[in-house]
Amino acid sequence: AVPSVRLSPAARSLFDEPLAIAVQGLGPQQQVTLRTSLRDETGELFQACARYQAGDDGELDLTRCPALPGGSFSGLEPMGLLWALQPQKPFWYMMKRDVQSPFLLQLEVLEGHGDPPGRLLARAQHERAFLRDGVRRIPVREGRIRATLFLPPGESPFPGIIDIHGLGRGLFEHRASLLANHGFATLALAYYQYEDLPQKPTLLHLEYFEEALNYMLQHPQVKGPGVGLLGYSKGADLSLAMAAFLKNITAVASLNGSVAITVLPLCYKDKTIQSLIMDEQRVKVTDSSFLDYSDAFDDPFQAPGNQSLIPIEKIEAQLLFIVGQDDRVNKSEYHATEVCKILQAQGKENFQILSCPGTGHCIDPPFFPLYSRGNHPIFHKRAVLGGQLGAYSKAQVHAWPQIQSFFHKYL
């Protein structure tokens, strides 16, 4: 028999969906190395490999066969060849700017467990897509808003979510597009360094975000009476501030955010919330010469007058705090825990915390590569962002359906 790769779905799957991988036609107990490769939009190569041994029947099914030590991972990990992808260029983050085109995944079966492995026995390629058939991508240029709206196929109206990214410059559509596949009308919102938005803002205006909220509330295909907010990092403190000061926000999911305003002061009408003070003197240098900024911010609960704290007690929306226990950019678990104590003391029950062990600052949808060291989002210096490979992959897979069920429940 000639070895061949069997994938299910065969040709194309959504990026956040599992992919079943099997190899048939091998010799009994034959040793092989499986290698996956993917190039991002800039041409950078990501790879993962794992060592396997076929069964007595020459079949190798990754749902039943554990990976042997010596590759990118070991143990029974059916999706390991996807979540363990790592950039060949150090400290590179996998980005998807154009969600209308899929990533192309290459899978090779190589002879033996050598390093480098032996000859090529079989190969397959597979598209990992961001848009399900029928999802509409609509660029939004209304008033000052610069955004993209994703509308699911089928009967509207749909529950609406505004997705606000961290300090990563520009417009990020990967999470919003994937959420639309799950039935949400999702607005990916840019707020600086995009088109005619401010290039280097010194402060942010809540009125801009209010405009985006009103756009969603008035959209005929968005189900009222309220919308949800999904904020990551800086986007999380912006989402909490929106929920504290604006009406018709029903549910907020905060991904590794602060409960204080960070980096850029926030203005609304005649009020300004100053950003949390940061002291570069408190930055530590790790043994591998990376910077650790985890203690750089002031503690917002100890700061005089709490001047940067968001008045979270005013929020009527349901709150879901998703926090990485190894977040080295924000003390997100501490912030969420402390603020929930305050809410509890006031008799409120509108909050829950999902705490993810071994997870750093970056929490992307499932199967995005771990980004544990790279450019700090504020200082643009090489920094520790946190996270361990296996634990992070489990956290992604666990958190993603929780985010969806949270929004389905409250929207």
233 flagged as catalytic? yes
From the candidates 361, 372, 376, 393, which is the catalytic residue? 361
CB 331 within 8 A of CB 297: yes
Beta sheet of 266-268, edge-to-edge order: 204-205, 266-268, 271-273
Q: SS3 of 389, please?
A: helix
Which residue out of 327, 335, 364, 376 is catalytically annotated? 327
How far apart are the C-alpha atoms of 156 and 224, rounded to whole Å? Answer: 11
Rounded to whole angstroms, how far apart are CA atoms 170 and 147? 10
37 is catalytic: no
Report the C-alpha dihedral over residues 34, 38, 43, 45, rounded to 10 degrees.
Answer: -40
Structure-token pair, residue 266: 């926030």
- Report the C-alpha dihedral over residues 169, 173, 178, 181, rounded to 10 degrees: 160
Catalytic residue selected from 13, 72, 177, 233 = 233
Give phi and psi for 98, each to the nearest 5. Answer: -100, 95
Q: Cα 1 to the chain's mean position, in Å?
A: 42
Distance from C-alpha of 122 to C-alpha of 291, rounded to nearest angstrom: 43
Torsion-angle region of 322 (φ positive above 0: left; ψ -120 to 50: alpha; else: beta): beta
Do residues 185 and 156 touch, judged by C-beta distance below 8 A?
Answer: yes
Nearest Cα to 177, choosing from 232, 101, 252, 233? Answer: 101
Sheet holding 12-14, edge to edge: 12-14, 120-129, 103-111, 31-39, 45-53, 86-87
Catalytic residue IDs: 233, 327, 361
